[in-house]
Structure 1
Amino acid sequence: MNIFGKSVTYAFLIISSFVFIIPFIWMVSTSLKEPGAIFAFPPQWIPDPFLFQNYKSAWTIAPFQQFLENTVTIVVLTTIGTVISSSIVAFGFARLVFRGRNVWFAILLASMMIPYEVTIIPLYVEFKLLGWIDTLRCLIVPSFFGAAFNIFLLRQYFLTIPYDLDEAAIIDGCSTFQVYWRIMLPIVAPALVTVAIFQVMNAWTDFMGPLIFLNDQRNYTLTLGLNLFRNSYLTEWNNLMAIASLVTVVPLIIFFIGQKYLIGGIAASGIKG
């Protein structure tokens, strides 16, 4: 590609990035403004003065400390459950030979085509029978049974590893679990980090699951807390944008820290966009 073509491409990417980042910049700007300056015309992009106390006041209006604790609990436990369960299943599909392996894997892939909305009612009935409705178990326990996409991604990564390693480890006296735990997991660490990042992002931003399964405000997550705040204090735009900024900042930090592993894990697994 010549210099002119590269210049046009980079200019287009920069302009597109700026267009997509404008709502985030406006959200942060609004969160630092006085109420009277929010709808000023022409728009005031740089607040004057900067009201950082908006964050403190918005955080204390509703019990966001409790919402944060619930969210962190769900994120940590679901990430652990997803990484462990998905890696075990993926290892079995990639490294073990058993009857009907390809059929079961095809069924697993087919389950990815089922929308989450279709499974909500059966899940609700099941959790109701177990007495789990309005508890965090509804959002945590399913992660310990694997996720189809994560299993597929990890299986593709496992398939890139030579089978000679398995044979050498077995000859040295390793059991199947030891091959998985001591040999394979360290090798597929980039893919495991990728799965963990996906799960953290999904659990942190999940709104539908908590909305359906949680009723008591003490069990609310940050997304439900943000919705509660929006319904109760809709006209307080500066406080609303302050809470939205705080809820958004963690996924952004995790993405920027882990984007190298995210891209590398997907590329090494052979999944094409």
Structure 2
Amino acid sequence: MAQKLITTSELVGKRVFADKSSPKKPDAAKKLGKVRHCVFHPSQRRCVGFIVKRPDLLWMFRRRDVFVALNGYDVVDGRILVKRAPEATDKGACKALGVNWDDCVLWVGLPVVGEDGTAYGLVGDVTFDRHSGEVESLQITQGATANALLGVKEIPASMIRGFKRGIGSALNVTGEGEEPVLGAILVGDEVAELSAEGGLAAKAGEATAVVAERARETVESVKPAVSSATKAAGKAVNKGAYATGRQIKRASGMFAAFKEEYDKARHEDD
């Protein structure tokens, strides 16, 4: 992970260790867990860190997840080693980053919606600068089979408008009488002109139309409920889609409810 750019899929699942070094044990480290989600700034196209899922205690008791700032770790011998500094994790990291934890966003799995209300699919992977966190691009997924046949559309950061609340999928688990918080990634209408890459459809001749229809059906199954307000693009952009702190308190797992639907949509035609 020494390269400048890194993707969310490269980080998720990586083992994480806590720096426990001392004068007597300069290389001591303790296993902390594995990267579970990448976390993004509530109003900027920037990754601010990641969440580490700690192993359950005695295989029975769930331990609290740990938030690690993007600048709060080093890579040593291929391992993620969290620094001992207070600003590397949790509240100290949020304070140093100048962000409110409850406002931060999990991009992967969010619906991607155009300014005209077009639903393009879901965020499948995000490429960002390893050091600054600045987003370079994101990929749209429409399910494994559709991706293989049609290819994957990659959206550059310049076409990503920001976050939009009030449309898309529920980001939190609500209680009785509470309205779910909805959110989606809003992109420019020029995304429609982008060509997908890596698929087999371009070589399929007449089969292309059939494949495209199948992919359209896949997208329709997860298409956000877009209201007329969606078309008033700039007004509600970058207000943040709440997907971290409040949701952790209400759900047994981060993004649990939505992730079930997301995973189901991705693999429904496998």
State the TM-score, normalizing by the size of structure 2.
0.27
Query: Radius of gyration: which is bigger?
Result: 1
The structure carrying a bigger helix percent of its residues is: 1
State the TM-score, normalizing by the size of structure 1.
0.27
State the structure with bigger RCO (CA 8 A, min sep 6), 1 or 2: 1
